[in-house]
């Protein structure tokens, strides 16, 4: 019985790897691959028995009587279109490090035959500079999920960009975690920090060395929903120059990538230069007032000033009640 099950397992792997609707395996090829890959010598009767066992277990296998050629795995855990969709999603998520992106893609493509995988070999990460350098992201999510379930506080290190455009640990926080949310292509933790009495958002891909504490989390502040501000970056790209406060260095690099040119002005500000569609930059700059000043192009600077003069809401900080976000 053990040999029968072992034969069925090995045959299933052969069908997964080397068969699909366009690559049907004749009996002789199945027998040959079982010998070359697993060192198992089998005959036709053994193959019939293994196929019958797999079908009995629920695997959808097309047999010779169905197609007149041989055998192939008709359906899989994930269909080819689903693998492509998930592969594209993994490549596009900036919070997944480049190395883990490749590992996830390889796992997804294991759902396909070797012939189907060849269609995806030219897929690459189009914005490598926007992938996080933090390799603890998935572990962070697991730890935070556990802490939320136990209603416990966490202590963690938090990463920030330096003027060298590399991430450095600059602060340690103790937080009361409530929920994880996905917005603006990033995962955030909704939480209450010990050092502040209000609900805030912290980037999960900026966290490292998370520890679940024995202390129960604070229940004094109700959770608030974070608004997902999405800005349309459309139009012809132009050269943009901005003066920025050091407080938004992380945000500048996150939005415009590590290719942005950074030059220190003084201990509190820096100059950022890059190429981007001005309309998107306008909406982004308005979000970060008063920490950013657009210098070039001149017409964009004047358009932002006009928008400010016409919109008293943007000028009134005391009227703004958005959720504080630590990017």
Percent with pLDDT over 70 in the chain: 80
The string of DSSP codes covering 117-161 is HGGGTT---TTGGGS-S-TTHHHHHHHHHHHHHHTEEEEEEEEEE
Residues 6+ apart with CB under 8 A from 315: 308
273 pLDDT above the threshold of 90: yes
Q: What is the pLDDT of residue 92?
A: 67
Domain boundaries, the chain: 2-73, 80-130, 137-216, 238-326
DSSP state of 305: H
Please report the DSSP string for 204-257 in residue order. GGGEEEEEEEEEEPP-SS---PPP-------S--EEEEEEEEGGGHHHHHHHH-
Over pLDDT 90: what percentage of the chain? 32
Asked whether 247 and 291 are in contact (CB, 8 A), the reply is yes
The pLDDT confidence band at residue 218, using thresholds 50, 70 and 90, is confident
The average pLDDT across 120-128 equals 51
Question: Using CB atoms within 10 A of its CB, is residue 117 exposed (0-12), middle (13-18) or buried (19+)?
Answer: middle
Mention every residue, 6+ apart, whose C-beta is less than 8 A from residue 286: 304, 307, 308, 314
Report whether CATH 2.30.30 matches the domain 137-216. Answer: yes
Residue 275's CB: how many other CB atoms inside 10 A?
Answer: 12
Q: Among 24-28, 54-58, 132-136, 147-151, whose mean pLDDT is lowest?
A: 132-136
Query: What is the CATH code for 238-326?
Result: 3.30.70
Cβ partners under 8 Å of residue 278, min gap 6: 235, 238, 240, 297, 300
Mean pLDDT within 93-115: 77
Q: How confident is the model at residue 324 (pLDDT cuts 50, 70, 90)?
A: very low
Q: What is the CB neighbour count within 10 angstroms for residue 30?
A: 22
C-alpha to C-alpha distance for 288 and 308, rounded to whole angstroms: 13
Between residues 75 and 89, the one the model is more confident about: 75
Closest Cα to residue 174, out of 157, 187, 199? 157
CA dist 51 and 11 (Å) reads 8
Closest to 141 in 3D by CA, of 192, 186, 194: 186
Give the three-state DSSP class for 315. Answer: helix
Phi and psi torsions of 111, nearest 5° = -75, -10
Q: Could you report how far apart the first and last alpha carbons of the chain are, in Å? A: 58
Per-chain mean pLDDT for the chain: 80
2-73 domain in CATH 1.10.10?
yes
């Amino acid at each position: 019985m053990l040999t029968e099950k072992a034969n069925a397992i090995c045959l299933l792997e052969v069908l997964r790897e080397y068969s699909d609707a366009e690559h049907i395996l004749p009996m002789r090829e199945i027998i040959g691959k079982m010998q070359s890959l697993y060192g198992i010598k089998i005959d036709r009767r053994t193959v019939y028995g293994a196929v019958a066992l797999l079908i009995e277990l629920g695997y959808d296998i097309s047999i010779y009587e169905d197609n007149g050629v041989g055998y192939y795995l008709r359906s899989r855990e994930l269909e080819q279109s689903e693998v492509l969709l998930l592969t594209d999603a993994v490549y596009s998520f900036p919070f997944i490090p480049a190395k883990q992106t490749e590992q996830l893609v390889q796992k997804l493509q294991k759902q396909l035959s070797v012939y189907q995988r060849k269609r995806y070999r030219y897929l690459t990460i189009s914005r490598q500079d926007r992938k996080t350098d933090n390799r603890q992201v998935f572990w962070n999510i697991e730890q935070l999920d556990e802490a939320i379930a136990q209603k416990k506080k966490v202590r963690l290190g938090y990463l920030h960009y330096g003027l060298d455009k590399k991430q450095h640990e600059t602060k340690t926080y103790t937080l009361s975690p409530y929920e994880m949310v996905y917005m603006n292509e990033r995962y955030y933790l909704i939480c209450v920090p010990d050092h502040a009495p209000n609900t805030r958002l912290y980037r999960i891909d900026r966290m490292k060395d998370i520890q679940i504490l024995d202390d129960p989390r604070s229940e004094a502040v109700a959770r608030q929903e974070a608004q997902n501000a999405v800005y349309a970056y459309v139009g012809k790209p132009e050269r943009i120059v901005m003066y920025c406060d050091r407080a938004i260095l992380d945000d500048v690099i996150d939005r415009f990538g590590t290719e942005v040119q950074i030059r220190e002005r003084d201990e509190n500000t820096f100059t950022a230069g890059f190429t981007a569609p001005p309309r998107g930059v306008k909406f982004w700059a308005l979000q970060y007032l008063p920490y950013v000043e657009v210098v070039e192009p001149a017409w964009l600077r004047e358009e932002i000033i006009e928008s400010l003069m016409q919109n008293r809401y943007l000028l009134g900080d005391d009227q703004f009640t958005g959720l504080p976000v630590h990017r």
